[in-house]
Structure 1
């Protein structure tokens, strides 16, 4: 794939994010994955979440998981890692996540679509993209790349979509770090971008101590990114735009492994799959 068309490739990266993200979200929203993790003995949703998503990193301490995940508040990871691995091996949680995610995706799609040639082709091309990007500087992506790719097409599609999600996530963190935006601050800016006001009511942060949220908002005001009412300033909106644009740019390498024809074919193959998952709310 030619690397002389950055605008075209960033558009592709954004379109692929739109198509693949709903497929990845079955892991978090559908019942099967949570049921599989609960059956292992994980006491809460978040025990299973941290134990399974961080598992590709190995038995690392909470500080490493916190750094790699980036957007959780101080102390949240430590409530689950490493305790969630003490009686349940990371490998078991990882396998449960894959089983549950593939099962939910198959249920949502139905046998006709799940067993279709289009899904097989989508899985093959997604895997080609997902296994052909540099790993340097991509901690979560490198962890996923170290795992075997499933043979079943539905599981392979989910696995490769998740590899690409982690690749994009690593790049997004790099963009946030470069812009000096912390994890909780990133949630506030995302809430404002989605039209949520006050941003402190956003589901990813509303549970945090009020003092912590007030300090984050004060910091954003001091930097001129939000105004006295907690809404975007022009500078804040432009900062958010730059972060998203750089995230798209940093997400392009996997898709450079595909030809123009393969990219067109992949998008066409994914569209009915994603439409079905979106219609089900990834649940």
Structure 2
């Protein structure tokens, strides 16, 4: 766990934000290697700490007929290759406790999906890997209720934790982001991440009852989150051809928009650093 703590300190910086980004689903080895390298190059140019994200299994798809991913064996192989050959950090999800130890071989950050953030056995298995764990706040929880999740995690002796905001249920399938939630979660003392792409998701709102989204609003939400002074990191799903993506294409940011958007976020962060209006 000490080694992971050192990595956390290198990854999370007080004076600048970090980025967790990549495609929603692991579509192919070629797609992973291309996007990981392209996004990494942009972040290196802008001096942003970066972690490549992709899901090897989309176990929570709205429809059972939709694409899920290549499975854990192939997923781990591809993630290891990206990590070794490109030198990128890797983040990916787990959905069941038995997956934690296997995924820890290929990931620097293990992510707990929002709908599963209260699953005690899942949190325990993830925490015991010693990895950095990014727990997404469920759409049905208040920021304060994440305190109970944190206690479960800390009981396992791991302090390498991030809390992620991805919007709250509003009415039926639309989400709304209460930006004060970032500030309220930040007061728990752990880094806070804002998920700018899942926050524009409309569950079950697409063709054949699949998900849809409003990716045109991603830049607005990302800028608003950065302006709070509470966001240590930004999570975004990014694709070079979102309209043809196998999962959540309508929510993902196009790769060609990423650099310009990150520059805007850097400018906002520099204003925070100048005036010191972070969370107190």
Q: TM-score, normalised by structure 2?
A: 0.26
- Of the two, which has the highest radius of gyration? 1
Q: Which has the higher strand share?
A: 2
Q: Select the structure with the greater relative contact order (CA < 8 A; seq sep ≥ 6).
A: 1
Q: Which has the higher helix share?
A: 1
Q: TM-score, normalised by structure 1?
A: 0.25
